[in-house]
Structure 1
Amino acid sequence: MINNIYLGVDIGSTTVKIVVLDKQRHLLAWRYLRSRGQPRRTLLKEAKSIAHEFHLTLEDLESHIVGVGLTGSGGGPTAELIGGQHINELIAQTRSVGEFHPQARTVVEIGGQDSKFISVAWDEKMGKMILVDMAMNNVCAAGTGSFLDQQAERLGISIENQFAQLAMQSENAARIAGRCTVFAKSDMIHLQQKGTPLPDILAGLGMALARNFKSVIGKGKSFIPPIIFQGGVSYNQGVVQAFEKVLKLKHGELIIPEHRHLMPALGTALMTIDEEIEGKFIPFKGFAPLQEYLHTKRSTHKSMPPLPTKDVMFANRKPLTISLDSIKSNRNERKPVYLGIDVGSITTKVVLIDEQKNVVARRYLYTVGKPLEIVRQGLIEIGQEVGDNVEIMGVGTTGSGRYLTADFVGGDVVRSEITAQARAAIAFDPTVDTIFEIGGQDSKYISINNGAVVNFAMNSACAAGTGSFLEEQADKLEINIERDFSQQAFCSKCPAALGERCTVFMESDLVHHQQQGAKVDDLTAGLAYAIVENYLNRVVGNRHVGKNIFFQGGVAWNDSVVSAFQEITKRTITVPPHHDITGAIGAAILAMEEMNKLGNKVTTKFSGFDLSKRHYQTKSFICQACPNLCEINRVTIADEAPIFYGARCDIFEEKGRKKHKHHDIPDFFAERHETLTGNYIAPNGRRNNRLRLGIPRTLIYYDMFPYWRTLFDELDIEIVLSDMTNPKIAYLTKEHAVAEMCYPAKLVYGHVMELLDQDVDAIFLPCIINRENIAEGQEENKYCPYIPATSYLVTAAIDIESRGVKPLRFSMHMQWEKTKKKELTNLAKELGMSYKRIEHAEKIAMTAQNNFYDALFKRGQEILTNLNPNIPAAVIVGRGYNTCDFGVSQDLPHKLRKMGVLPIPMDYLPLKTANISDRYDFMFWRSGQDILSAAMLIRNDPRLHAIYVTSFGCGPDSFTINYFRRIMEGKPFLELELDDHTADTGIITRCEAFFESLKMGT
């Protein structure tokens, strides 16, 4: 018999937790349930379950409840219905930790949608634990349990058991982005596609999550042991191990509570008992108001128009036909067919087409993180289906796993997804002018004119607005994406407005609407609208949308998304036959055209349908040949020579069987770096008593090193450069960066840490505000504010002086001579030198800097005069620390040269000759001026093409890119957005697609 019980309720973003305590604080019962989009209904259901456990009716249970405490994202609105205390999550967790682990000093909590850092201390006077400091993730759900759930499900493994078990088998954790969940997801998928072992990927994900928590949530705060790790994610031993490594904890310093998943709920129940004792009590109203609420229809959220169903369902959906019977009707001869394989991030498509481009056989399979296994399965199944009735004449591969797949099956043609999707659409309808393609992880826009691709765009690394996001949300709502999603969406009268931002923002909005009681119908319709709005705004942008629009990709099966496209665009959307495998069809057609063009000169390399005996092995290792420390994947297929993926250079090309052409294309970026550094040689130990000054090889280094090197040489100061950006520096950056900035600015932290190990006396951390004038008509030449700010941000996060090293920090306005004179005077005092000496050195330094500019201009003129018309030339547009730091650009110039493209540094162009002041005199960023000048020169030179490299979160580029587009209007260019993610498949795909589209358009 129970009497006088207290309920603690934690309504989170994905789960509902309930605890029942008696007055002596004994735990009598508890529940931990996934809410599946219905948190209040779940609460009521579990309250009835608890009543049943005590052999009571719900009404009888209510009579025994003295008080209820509620917390979590849904706690407040629910407390308004049923009464009780609404308690802040952080306070609740502090209370429960104080009850069960009074020795704790730090709490790390990671739940389904939220992450929290809590610093706590025991107050002897008050006799309880108090909250000292705290931090939480922002609206973004990066690095939380919901993301781990999604990846485990996509990989076909159990999050509770297999994830940790596999992660702990890893010998070499893969490098995975941690700042953003969708960048991490992209990294994981691309690592799979080049054969990285699954345990290494899972271990890398755990490490990324832990590093992300330390840098983004912790932001330089002290993690004082003992540390309590709680929340649902603490059940994952792989993540627990990652936190122990990242926080460098000794055995026993990371404590996992017995009721790790219930701590906020326990805290609210305990505080409810405390409040009753102190007489500060809010009475419990009972569950009747909640029952009434759940039976009442309402719409309180901002809504979209209902999805139109008239003429949508099948009016423009072309029938799917398969010509398998045609190959079996003629048993006297084998029918020539072509094989197309599209290995995507989420699904793998395999198709056979005949010479009339009819589909003979097809397979649509989930990749589940095992691309080669699934390709093998698809080929075996199709081989059994067609028997000996066909002869494979050619094989084409596409998708993010196209290269590895081609090596495995014996591919003849490897093409980007853009080219393959366009070729299939043109085969279905030569008049098609626009393609909307949404797949599992990528989305694409393609503009076609007269059968040639004239423009295209892909989602920028982020998976927002793609099929994987839609499927993940449908699963959370307990809706079958294939059978029920559209049906429920069409029933909605008030579709929820979920915005069109990043996936994690949309997911957070979805959770908010759930907590406000939105109907599942309205949420599904809202998701259909959201994916379309995201695609149109983030991918298509202001690009031309024609009249004959094809909607391709797996998401085109979803009629509610088709309807949302038609409602928003007010245009007819055609869903072609086999829209879900158009990439594979296009690859097969391209193979057919290539093999027909070559005639009898070549035969297919196809290894056959039965690949069951074609074994392969994968192993990853770190190449130690240079400071780049590339993560290499070694793939051995059957008894053939191994193939190596992941190297930035050609070191493995002689060892393996992968060969690349175009080694004769000059490397102007390496040449530029030699011009930048001159005859600089790293010092070998100390010489005399010279001051050793460490200079981080990032940000202004890539433009101004000749100036600073000459200045300090003249002052008899020894310069020590940090290494080029490499994995070690990237790791140090993640360990120590506390501010959310673009990746190049964050890298300063890592470069400074690397210099602290090089026996330097001081580290160069200037506060450079602007640059010298080089163009007439521009009044301002400012640097991005993060460049001067890093001087203060880094020294606030890293105690340089405690290591016996002095930060050389001073202001400098390169543009304003009078101000610069005062600043040089201050620098002279800082260095203990006379102003005359530093003034003399500065004049020589300025001459050296101008000589550097002149050398770039002269070399650029030579190159432009002698461009080879047979080699496409691409100017890499952007700031020097984006384009010339190969650790940031993922060595883009090397990748382009492998493709047969000549990469040209932007400052090889005669930027001074392009006067932008008439139209853009307001452009006060010096880098922005250079970028727009480059745009004018590229726009007017038919030999040149532009690749615009920007960083995720770059403020100046957020508007500079729009002016760049205006200038380039009518001439295609490629935009690449980079961050700390390391997988390069997305970059390669976009570059290949860009240059293939240029060929098609000529």
Structure 2
Amino acid sequence: MHAIGLDFGSVYTKAVLLDADRKVDLTCYAKKGVDDRNLIDEFFRKVDLRAPGARFHAGAAGIEAGRSGGLLPVNAIIAIAEGIGRLHPGARSIIEVGGHTSKFIIFGDDGGVSDFSTNDACAAGTGSFLEQQSRRLNIDIGELSRLSTAAAREATIAGRCSVFAKSDMIHLQQRGTSVEEICYGLCMAIARNALATLLHGREPLPPVVIAGGCARNEGILRAFSEMLAGRGGCELVQSACPGLEGATGAAMVAAANGGEAYTLEDIRRCVSAALNSGSGTRATLEPLGSRRESGRKEEPVGAFEAPMEGWLGLDVGSVSTNFAVLDRNGAVISSVYLPTRGRPVDVLREGLGILRKRFRDGLTVLGCGATGSGRHLAARLLGADVVKNEITCQMLGTRHFIPGVESIVEIGGQDSKFIAVRVAGIADFVMNKICAAGTGSFLEEQASELGIDIYSNFAPLAFASEAPLDLGSRCTVFMETEVVNAIRHGIPAGDICAGLAYAIVKNYLNKVVGNRPLGSTIVFQGGVASNDAVVAAFEKVIGAPVRVHPYNRISGAIGAALAALHEGTRAHGGPADNRRQSRFKGLDPGPQPSLWSFECSHCTNSCEVNVIEIGGVRSYFGDVCERFTSLGSDDEHKPALPNLTDEFLTRCEQYFSAPAQGRPTIGIPRASTLMAHLPFWAVFFRELGMQPILSGNTSQQTLALGLKNLAVGVCLPIKLTAGHIHTLLETGADMVFVPSVVILPGDVPSRSYSCPYAMAVPYMIGAKNRDRFVTPVVNFVSEESFVEGFDAWRGQFGASR
């Protein structure tokens, strides 16, 4: 008898038909849409043609099916194990990486599952992340696979969390790192993340089957092979049916379970009922209301027949690269908005070509300004007179059009900014460049998951929603999982779109603005300000009107052009015609530069330094300290800015330099929440008669030690904390300080709570010598609560209350 297996994954719907000999006869592997029923119906039509009128045993993983009526629910771990057992009978371990989940399974001597682990609620480092980044690189997933195998080495990309990895990738793109190296770096990040979050100190037993949809990717297979080779090597096997293991196993379990067989119609009804079962009640938000006029102006893109002159501004960002040309009066006369596509050098050349075609009889550039995270690259490549940070240029570009602005809300493709403006200029600002959560790239990626065009369909659907889905304001990967679940439960696309608009706003207000006051005149700019649904969500959440910058997409480039204008005017005491000639090299992009990179070994940062060579002249980018970037720069004789971080750590280390002199030693981990208060803890324990010892600098060995001794998947700071704690144990400290830090110093205790992981550190760290741990509950809210946390150790310290 035939058997049907279904597997409803987070990103793909999978189905198999097994023949009477339990061989795979028919398969379905399709990306999920708004309704899985269409995919299953199409598969069932093919099954009916293959076995008309037949009855089947059927099993399903990934949905909550009832135990009667034709569909047997199968646990996902069991389904994958059974599927691999059928496809690879000699396998001892499985590493499965799917669209949003990953699993590690060990087979026992009896062939059953003896141990397993899954990734946590975060979708970091899984297949959907890889697909998103391939779209960002403007290549398909197959091309990413091919490029990964051709790379000579990996670009260093974080594997601790997908949004951090995404940020790393964007910065690599802006430095000119080759696409091949970035592709392989992404694959290595996923492999590194999977092993770190799944193994928890265990070692896979060979042969290891790499399973899940990611096993279709040759770059992923190469990455796992390299990572496992570093662990002593073991036999690695690619799954015979990548991504279909769960569906195959579900069919095997259903067939082995026996019992009554059912018609396709019976099974179809069960699938439909199961897909509807999770819809239930859900938290909703107020509808966005009606669309209103935004005040945006059309960006000028016309051609000029006569010779022109103007000020040029460049804004090289993570997702877009923008050009703005201003006339002598500061009016925008031409603009270019291009996706960076991971190729900033090529896009800069492309933008110059567009301007050259528009200004048919020539453009005399009076001055050129560059901004954005790729500003140094643009300045060196094209020749800029002024290089300014994004904050300054955004402020200049806004004040030019709205002089009374008090708050600037800027949300771009990969970062976001908040700028408080007063009469004298910038009063305060905060910039989120580390995490990509709640930015335009996230919104675009989620629209893609919904099959919706972000530019034409998203806002109309959101405005039509009567019950926007409440997605909260959490990290991108958690919201992404919520969106996937909403799609699976059949929630209308419009409700999800409106919920995403609200989520972007809440994330920005909570993570960027915080408790800073919003002024009365609020201006919204950046690429996301083009989305009227997000503008409406802002007004709903803050209860006040929000103005949109007339040229919201190119506000940074306008600011850069204005910076060049102001500099030129200031240099000559007014708008003189005899101002010095601009350094701008012209609209002809010149020869294609050569690109390559190397790793700097001057410090433990191990920066990947990118080299761009034009006509025998080399420029360097990507080094944090600018050791190479500053070579040949006009700024090389200016006094260097102090490295405050290095100075802080150097002074902190002085508190730990005194000899022990017979005192008991207590180790302080150089990590997490303890870092900011190292002098306090050093003095505190010395006054108690102990000698504080600070753990060494963080290294790859520190991280590896932390991963080996953590039984749960956590963020990088906690992994490093665990590594530093075990380093102190190994170096022989009499005691190790491992506090549960609950409330940090702050004016408002309710806003001073530490991260839950930081609170739970003493309870997560596995160690044989826990009796050497000092684990107080630390509250800085008052002296009394602080002292109370150390009550259990007063006797050991010989201290009174």
TM-score range with shorter-chain normalisation? 0.7 to 0.9
Return the letter of the residue paired with 2:593: Y
1:7 touches 1:65 (CA, 8 Å); kept in 2? no
Instruction: Say whether the 8 Å CA contact 1:434–1:447 is kept in structure 2.
Output: yes
The residue that corresponds to 1:175 in the other structure is: 156
Which range is displaced more, 577-586 or 456-465?
A: 456-465
Cα distance in 1 for residues equivalent to 2:101 and 2:649: 44
- Which residue number corresponds to residue 254 of structure 2? 272
Q: CA deviation at 1:791?
A: 8.2
Picking from 470, 494, 516, the partner of 1:497 is 470
Tell me, what secondary structure is at the counterpart of 1:64? Answer: coil
Q: Which moved more, 1:747-756 or 1:206-215?
A: 747-756
- Distance apart, 1:556 and its partner CA: 2.0
Quick one: structure 1 residues 480 and 94, their matched pair in 2 at CA, closer, same or farther if it must change by over 3 Å? same
For residue 924 of structure 1, give the secondary structure of its aligned residue in structure 2: helix
For the residues of structure 2 that align with 1:669 and 1:295, how far apart are their CA atoms? 57
Map 1:751-762 to 2 at 5 A.
Answer: 762=732
**Which residues in structure 2 correspond to 1:842-857 (within 5 Å)?**
none
Q: Could you tell me how far apart the structure 1 residues matched to 2:500 and 2:610 are?
A: 38
Amino acid at match of 2:401: F
Residues 428-459 of structure 1: CA distance to partner in whole angstroms, max 9, x if unpaired? 12122222222111122222223622233333
**Match of 2:575?**
none
Supply the AA of the counterpart residue of 1:76.
E
Asked if structure 2 preserves the Cα contact closer than 8 Å seen for 1:617 and 1:636, the reply is: yes
Aligned counterparts of 2:406 and 2:686: Cα–Cα separation in 1: 54
User: Which blocks of at least 5 consecutive residues in structure 1 are unaligned?
Assistant: 124-128, 682-689, 776-781, 800-806, 816-878, 880-915, 928-1002
Distance between the aligned counterparts of 2:772 and 2:234, measured in 1?
45
Partner Cα distance (1:785, 1:9) in 2? 38
- C-alpha displacement of 1:308: 0.9
| Cα distance in structure 2, aligned partners of 1:381 and 1:343 | 16
Aligned residue number for residue 810 of structure 1 = 772
Q: Is the 8 A contact 2:70 2:261 kept in 1?
A: no
Question: For residues 493-552 of structure 1, what are the alpha-carbon distances to aligned partners after superposition, in whole Å with 9 as ceiling and x for unaligned?
Answer: 322222221111111111111222212222222222222222233223332223332221
Instruction: Give 1:723-734 correspondences, 5 Å limit.
Output: 724-726=697-699, 729-730=702-703
| Pairs within 5 Å for 1:422-441 | 422-441=395-414
Q: Is the 8 A contact 2:471 2:500 kept in 1?
A: yes
Contact residue 426 and residue 451 of structure 1 kept, 8 A = no
Q: CA deviation at 1:485?
A: 1.5
Q: Does the 8 A contact of 1:696 with 1:748 survive in 2? A: no
* Contact 1:696 1:764 survives alignment (8 Å): no
Q: 1:65 to 1:503 in 2, by over 3 A?
A: farther
Distance in 1 of aligned mates of 2:91 and 2:188: 23
Aligned pairs, number: 764
Q: Does 1:46 align with 2:60?
A: no
Using a 3 Å threshold, how does the CA distance of structure 1 residues 617 and 47 change in structure 2: closer, same or farther? same
Is 1:531 aligned to residue 508 of structure 2? no
- Contact (CA 8 Å) 2:175, 2:622: kept in 1 or not? yes
Paired residue type of 2:369: G
Deviation at 1:795, TM superposition (A): 5.8
8 A contact 2:7–2:15 mirrored in 1 = yes
Q: 1:637 aligns with which of 614, 623, 632?
A: 614
Q: Which residue of 2 aligns with 1:107?
A: 94
Q: Indicate yes or no: 2:86 matched with 1:139.
A: no
Structure 1: how far apart are the matches of 2:434 and 2:598?
Answer: 25
Taking the aligned partners of 1:751 and 1:920, their CA distance within structure 2 comes to 29
Superposed displacement of residue 69, structure 1 = 0.8
**Where in structure 2 are the equivalents of 1:145-544 lying within 5 Å?**
145-160=127-142, 162-248=143-229, 253-276=235-258, 285-287=266-268, 300-309=281-290, 312-313=291-292, 315-320=293-298, 322=300, 324=302, 328=305, 331=306, 334-450=307-423, 452-459=425-432, 461-544=434-517
Q: Which is worse superposed, 509-518 or 145-154?
A: 509-518
Residue matched to 2:64 = 76
Compare 494-503 and 473-482 and name the one that shifted more.
494-503
Question: Which amino acid is the alignment partner of residue 65 of structure 1?
Answer: R
Distance (Å, rounded) in 2 between the aligned partners of 1:175 and 1:119: 30
Indicate the SS of the match to 2:393: helix
Task: Quote the Cα distance in structure 1 between the aligned partners of 2:9 and 2:659.
Answer: 57
The verdict on how the C-alpha distance between 1:47 and 1:238 changes in structure 2, with shifts beyond 3 A counting, is same
**Alpha-carbon spacing, 1:268–1:795, altered in 2? closer, same or farther (3 Å):** closer
Deviates more, 1:666-675 or 1:168-177: 666-675
Q: Is the 8 A contact 1:67 1:283 kept in 2?
A: no
Aligned-partner residue type, residue 810 of structure 1: R
Which residue identity is paired with 1:372?
V
Contact kept in structure 2, 1:697 and 1:722, CA below 8 Å: yes
Distance 2:159 2:116 in 1: 21
Query: 1:786 and 1:323 mapped to 2: Cα distance?
Result: 51
- Measure how far apart 1:227 and its partner are: 1.2
Q: Distance in 1 between matches of 2:144 and 2:165?
A: 16
Paired residue type of 1:71: A
Measure, in 2, the Cα distance between the counterparts of 1:520 and 1:80.
Answer: 30
AA aligned opposite 2:241: H
SS at match of 1:143: coil
The CA deviation at 1:267 is: 0.5
Q: SS at 1:42's partner residue? A: helix
C-alpha distance in structure 2 between counterparts of 1:219 and 1:209, whole Å: 16
Seen in structure 2, the aligned counterparts of structure 1 residues 649 and 416 have a Cα distance that, compared at 3 Å, is closer
TM-score by length of structure 2 reads: 0.85
When Rg is computed on C-alpha atoms for both structures, the one with the higher figure is 1
What code does the residue aligned with 1:45 have? Answer: E
SS in 2 for 1:164: helix
Describe the SS at the equivalent of 1:168. helix
Residues 499 and 811 (structure 1 numbering): CA distance in 2 closer, same or farther, change over 3 Å? closer
Change (3 A) 1:452 1:388: same
Does the residue aligned with 1:472 lie in a helix, a strand or coil? helix
> 1:564 deviation in Å?
2.1
Alignment partners' CA distance in 1, 2:156 and 2:29: 33
Q: CA deviation at 1:108?
A: 0.9
- 1:920 Cα offset (Å): 4.5
- Please tell me whether residue 766 in structure 1 is matched to residue 754 in structure 2: no
Partner of 2:598, secondary structure, is strand
Q: Distance in 2 between matches of 1:107 and 1:813?
A: 37
Aligned counterparts of 1:366 and 1:261: Cα–Cα separation in 2: 32
Matches of 2:302 and 2:381 in 1, distance apart? 26
Query: For the structure 1 residues 697 and 636, does the alpha-carbon distance in structure 2 shift closer, same or farther, using more than 3 Å as the test?
Result: farther
RMSD: 4.1
SS in 2 for 1:698: coil
Q: So what's the TM-score if we normalise by structure 1?
A: 0.69
Structure 1 counterpart of 2:670, one-letter code: T
Aligned-partner Cα distance in 2 for 1:500–1:81: 39
Deviation, structure 1 residue 763: 6.1
| CA displacement at 1:185 relative to structure 2 | 0.5
When residues 455 and 224 of structure 1 are mapped into structure 2, their CA distance, relative to the original with a 3 A threshold, is same
* Residues 1:646 and 2:636 are matched in the alignment: no
Cα gap change, 1:293/1:380 in structure 2, threshold over 3 Å: closer, same or farther?
same
Q: Cα distance 1:789–1:439, how it changes in 2: closer, same or farther (>3 A)?
A: closer
* Structure 1 residues 427 and 507: alpha-carbon distance in aligned structure 2, compared to 1, 3 A threshold: same
Distance 1:736 1:529, change over 3 A: same
Matches within 5 A, 1:21-36: 21-36=18-33
Asked if structure 1 preserves the Cα contact closer than 8 Å seen for 2:623 and 2:629, the reply is: no
Give the Cα–Cα distance (whole angstroms) in 2 for the partners of residues 38 and 317 of structure 1: 37
Can you give the 5+ residue segments of structure 2 that lack an aligned partner in the other structure? 573-577, 746-752, 790-801
- Structure 1 residues 808, 35: CA separation in 2 closer, same or farther (over 3 Å shift)? closer
Residue 150 of structure 2 aligns to a residue whose secondary structure is coil
SS in 1 for 2:314: strand
Task: Kindly report which structure 2 residues correspond to 1:659-674, keeping only aligned pairs within 5 A, or say none.
Answer: 659=636, 661-663=638-640, 665=642, 668-669=647-648, 672=651
CA pair 91-431 structure 1, distance change in 2 beyond 3 A: same
What amino acid maps onto 1:86 in structure 2? P
